């Protein structure tokens, strides 16, 4: 279809056919307009760029990092690469010599970089005692007994004690091809000698793992050119498997090997299963022992109590918001100061005040005993339980419910109620049929705000909730700051985020997010 757009003269008349309108700088008018629009778009983008950068850095990236940490398991295959590869070919509950040889070499390298403690911490999440096993092995790995190979090679030919000769051998392609295990062990030793010890491999005698690897290559029939001829038959050949089990008996436990097989992949669903009171094993997914199932109950408690707190805030906040919206402006402003007053006080101070009020020897119980409503030996237990958490959090979150409802109610014209009464409706009917439906958007906005704040609270439940009033957020904080199990904390946080999004979607389907307002 032909382009129907035509250039026009300044007086509005269409320009003669074939005439091109020009801007003041001599460029075609259309080109000038397009250039101007592009400049406006760039200017608009630059105005919102700081906000976009803020959202990206402080919202999107942390969520992406949380999602990655919840499945990340790279520390196992990166710390024990040889062991993972050898273990895949050995199905025995306690594997044979080749796997222990690989484990020995991996742990020598890991101990040099001090990674074995991190690996032990990771495996300890899945099997108790793994951390102490790895730490003990790290301390013993340098004197495990493999120095016998080095002593025999040096006794056979002093050239094997010369660091410079080793450095020359290990750059010879023919020797490297003939001695694959020795080459791998020497390269690993040379790498951590440079990076971890800040030494020159050409000036340091190779470690015991290199001599043990050389013996295995020669015992397998390798005949490298340029290397001193050595007959290794009849040598003392201690089993690394037996040496490691002797140093740390835990390596003879099938449980540690089952754990290594299960969590040898770089990514794992183990954290999510643990967050749902399940565990991953070689046989598949299974429930955790009853004594270890805590997270499902915590999730249920968090959502039930958050809903209860939200409901209490609606019941207490609606009359206050209604009163504020109907009173004269001067009086309403004075009362609004009382609503906003808690914001001017530290959250920690407010929560600590509730501890003073709610304890058995506190102000509330003293008043009840003085009034004769409660016996002195039967004081109410309102702290370190769910009751204390509900009372304290309802007080703290109540302003977040009142303000959205007040904002919406203030925009409802009073003439609607007067019109309903003039048509014969009584006060209750006028309120329920006319006023209340118009206030629902404020209730929705306040409910979403209070509920989302409630499920993420951890300071108040931590101080007044005890063991029966804490939320899932308290457990997340514990894993981040105390146990340092960031993977499980990330999985718990992700599940909480998904649950909130699902509830948000359900709310949108039932009520409609378009009906949520923060103002009239």
pLDDT in tens, 347-358: 888 888 888 888
Query: Which one of 10, 44, 60 terminates a domain?
Result: 60
For residues 301 and 470, give the distance between their C-alpha atoms in angstroms, rounded to a whole number.
Answer: 8
Q: Chain centroid to CA 37: how far? A: 43
Is the same domain home to 181 and 301? no
User: Of how many residues is the chain composed?
Assistant: 520
Q: How many domains does the chain have?
A: 3
**CATH number for the domain that contains residue 312:** 1.10.3720.10
Identify whether 270 is part of a domain: no
Identify whether 274 is part of a domain: no
Is residue 10 over pLDDT 60? no
pTM comes to 0.81
Is the same domain home to 42 and 101? no
For residues 24 and 103, give the distance between their C-alpha atoms in angstroms, rounded to a whole number.
Answer: 78
Identify whether 15 is part of a domain: no
Task: Provide the pLDDT confidence category of residue 309 given band limits of 50, 70 and 90.
Answer: very high
**79-88, 311-320, 413-422: least confidently modelled range:** 413-422
Of 30, 26, 8, 25, the closest CA to residue 17 belongs to: 8
At CA 288, angle to CA 286 and CA 292, rounded to 5?
Answer: 170
- Give the model's pLDDT for residue 14: 55
Of 344, 341, 298, 308, the closest CA to residue 450 belongs to: 308
Is residue 105 over pLDDT 90? yes
Is the same domain home to 131 and 220? yes
**DSSP 8-state class, residue 398:** H
| pLDDT tens digit sequence for 15-37 | 555 556 666 666 777 777 888 88
**DSSP 8-state class, residue 22:** B
Is the same domain home to 362 and 483? yes
- In contact, 390 and 312? CB cutoff 8 Å: yes
Is the same domain home to 319 and 439? yes
Pairs from 89-93 (Cβ < 8 Å, separation ≥ 24)? 93/254, 93/257, 93/258
Instruction: Show the domain range for 48.
Output: 27-60
- Give the model's pLDDT for residue 107: 95
Is the same domain home to 158 and 301? no
For residues 458 and 359, give the distance between their C-alpha atoms in angstroms, rounded to a whole number.
Answer: 20
Dihedral sign, Cα of residue 456, residue 458, residue 464, residue 466? positive
Is the same domain home to 110 and 235? yes
């Amino acid at each position: 279809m032909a382009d129907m757009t035509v250039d026009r003269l300044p007086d509005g008349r269409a320009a003669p056919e074939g005439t091109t309108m020009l801007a003041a700088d001599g460029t075609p008018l259309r080109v000038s307009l397009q250039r101007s629009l592009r400049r406006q778009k760039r200017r608009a983008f630059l105005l919102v760029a700081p906000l976009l950068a803020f959202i990206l850095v402080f919202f999107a990236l942390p969520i992406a990092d949380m999602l990655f940490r919840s499945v990340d398991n790279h520390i196992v295959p990166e710390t024990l690469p040889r062991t993972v590869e050898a273990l895949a070919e050995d199905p025995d509950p306690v594997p044979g010599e080749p796997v222990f040889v690989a484990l020995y070499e991996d742990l020598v390298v890991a101990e040099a970089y001090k990674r074995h403690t991190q690996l032990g911490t990771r495996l300890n999440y899945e099997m108790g005692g793994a951390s102490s096993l790895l730490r003990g092995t790290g301390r013993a790995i340098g004197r495990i007994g493999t120095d016998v190979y080095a002593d025999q090679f040096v006794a056979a030919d002093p050239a094997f004690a010369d660091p410079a000769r080793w450095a020359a051998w290990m750059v010879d392609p023919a020797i490297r091809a003939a001695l694959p295990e020795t080459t791998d062990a020497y390269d690993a030793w040379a790498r951590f000698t440079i990076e971890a010890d800040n030494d020159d491999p050409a000036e340091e005698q190779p470690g015991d793992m290199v001599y043990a690897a050389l013996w295995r290559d020669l015992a397998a029939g390798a005949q490298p050119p340029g290397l001193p001829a050595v007959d290794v038959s009849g040598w003392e050949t201690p089993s690394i498997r037996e040496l490691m089990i002797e140093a740390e008996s835990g390596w003879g436990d099938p449980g540690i090997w089952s754990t290594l097989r299960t969590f040898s992949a770089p990514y794992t669903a183990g954290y999510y299963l643990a967050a749902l009171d399940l565990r991953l094993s070689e046989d598949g997914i299974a429930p955790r022992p009853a004594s270890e199932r805590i997270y499902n109950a915590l999730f249920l408690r968090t959502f039930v109590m958050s809903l209860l707190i939200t409901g209490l805030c609606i019941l207490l906040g609606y009359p206050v918001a209604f009163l504020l919206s109907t009173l004269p402006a001067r009086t309403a402003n004075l009362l609004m100061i009382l609503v906003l007053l808690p914001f001017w006080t530290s959250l920690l101070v407010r929560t600590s005040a509730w501890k003073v009020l709610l304890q058995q020897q506190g102000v509330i119980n003293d008043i009840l005993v003085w009034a004769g409503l409660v016996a002195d030996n039967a004081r109410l237990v309102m702290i370190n339980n769910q009751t204390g958490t509900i009372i304290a959090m309802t007080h703290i979150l109540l302003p977040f419910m009142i303000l959205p409802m007040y904002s919406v109610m203030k925009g409802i014209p009073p003439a609607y109620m007067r019109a309903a009464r003039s048509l014969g409706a009584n006060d209750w009917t006028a309120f329920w049929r006319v006023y209340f439906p118009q206030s629902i958007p404020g209730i929705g906005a306040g409910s979403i705000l209070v509920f989302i704040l409630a499920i993420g609270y951890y300071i108040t439940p931590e101080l007044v909730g005890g063991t029966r009033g804490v939320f899932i957020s308290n457990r997340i904080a514990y894993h981040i700051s105390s146990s340092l199990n960031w993977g499980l904390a990330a999985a718990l946080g992700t599940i909480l985020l998904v649950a909130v999004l699902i509830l948000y979607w359900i709310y949108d389907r039932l009520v409609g997010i378009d009906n949520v307002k923060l103002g009239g």
